[in-house]
Structure 1
């Protein structure tokens, strides 16, 4: 158990809202697994699939920044994932136009086929016994729904970027979610494995719970480690968080 920071003195949250990629599901292993198969199909097994996954994910924030900065209208993450895939292929000297569109479509949907971390389902199930649990993800609804059904994730509601029409860490992503839930920002707790996400949530008035996922980047240091703060709760897993929040 990692322990919490003064949690006994804090108000209990009314609702728990979860980041999904990296916090609840292991994106890197899933994207590497599928990319290995597709790279073989296009005769590029020489490319390391885990490194390919990292480069694909590395385009995530820049792609969303164009929407946040009004460079382009809002589009769902599935659209951005396809564009990010084409950009990653180009980075490896592969022209996406030369790849079968059916293959590209299936490859870009690798994000729909991610598996939960081993503690995720039991942890969420325990937390749900006491709190409403919702997604607060940049993933679109169809994407989140497929991940949930594949992994048996017991969400009470799927919320996030597509519902609010804003990508995290835009403040509206957090405040809009609280409003939809008829909750004050301070009654909503973001659960995430990313310090940058939690920092933005805290600036918007939310409670914060950090879940450590040391293998999210394959054991490498997280890119936002410099944004670490003393969060209201800090846990080693979702089952540890359930223990700290008094969930049987």
Structure 2
């Protein structure tokens, strides 16, 4: 018996839910910072500072103050700001070096339960990302990590950034499904709340170290989501996979 009866497709938040963005970005930031003689900068703090600019950059698009702009471009602009904030002039680095660091977001590692859980879930559901990442980013990530998506959908497909309702509704439309036949799997209560408001079903998966050992957010399900799981493999159990 499935905790999500009638759901045909599972769509996934990616950054934090599917992959460990913080340690992945810090790993490549450490390489860059050491190359520039800046061993004094904590690479995890650098990753946190870069991520902190993520929502404000997307809000420029969501508000209509800026046309839709893919996340790779927003990340690259944010990287320049973060480098300057840490006393590093981005103009002093080769463009290809900055592009390599910007693509740290393409090289993120999945959580240990991600791939075995996805393989089980895929036996009974169509799987795709519903992420603010762009298609190339998500495709490169999947190719490197072996994520078994049935389709790679990025924010360009919806031309909207979560939590705009269009991000959820257009994804369901692309899959030729009613919103109630789609469930969002996410480690973020806010994302799930927006998905539910758009008519999607919801599955909360706990990721208590997404923001590091001192994480204070999303440590529990804050609403009565259709299902709550401790991992993707636990989710597979709850969905009868």
TM class by shorter chain equals over 0.9
User: 1:27 aligns to what?
Assistant: 21
Which among 190, 204, 213 is matched to residue 210 of structure 1? 204
Which among 234, 238, 241 is matched to residue 244 of structure 1? 238
Give per-residue Cα distances to partners, 1:43-78, cap 9 Å, x unaligned.
111100001101111111001000111111111111
Residue 79, structure 1, aligned to residue 81, structure 2: no
User: 2:158 aligns to what?
Assistant: 164
User: 1:70 aligns to what?
Assistant: 64
Which among 189, 195, 205 is matched to residue 195 of structure 1? 189
User: 1:90 aligns to what?
Assistant: 84
8 Å Cα contact 2:208-2:218 kept in structure 1? no
* TM-score (norm: length of structure 1): 0.93
Task: Report SS of the residue matched to 1:22.
Answer: coil
Residue 229, structure 1, aligned to residue 220, structure 2: no
8 Å Cα contact 2:203-2:229 kept in structure 1? yes
8 Å Cα contact 1:35-1:107 kept in structure 2? yes
Unaligned runs of 5+ in 2: none
Task: Report SS of the residue matched to 2:81.
Answer: helix
2-structure distance, mates of 1:8, 1:74: 37
User: 1:4 aligns to what?
Assistant: none
User: 1:54 aligns to what?
Assistant: 48
Shift in Å at residue 19 of structure 1? 0.8
Distance verdict in 2 for CA 1:222–1:144, change over 3 Å: farther
Unaligned runs of 5+ in 1: 1-6
- Give me the CA root mean square deviation: 1.6
Distance verdict in 2 for CA 1:31–1:10, change over 3 Å: closer
Distance verdict in 2 for CA 1:13–1:144, change over 3 Å: same
- Segment of structure 1 superposing worse, 216-225 or 124-133: 216-225
Distance verdict in 2 for CA 1:64–1:110, change over 3 Å: same
User: 1:3 aligns to what?
Assistant: none
2-structure distance, mates of 1:105, 1:45: 21
Distance verdict in 2 for CA 1:129–1:106, change over 3 Å: same
1-structure distance, mates of 2:63, 2:238: 38
Task: Report SS of the residue matched to 1:133.
Answer: strand
Distance verdict in 2 for CA 1:146–1:9, change over 3 Å: closer
8 Å Cα contact 1:39-1:47 kept in structure 2? yes
2-structure distance, mates of 1:217, 1:36: 17
* TM-score (norm: length of structure 2): 0.95
2-structure distance, mates of 1:222, 1:184: 35
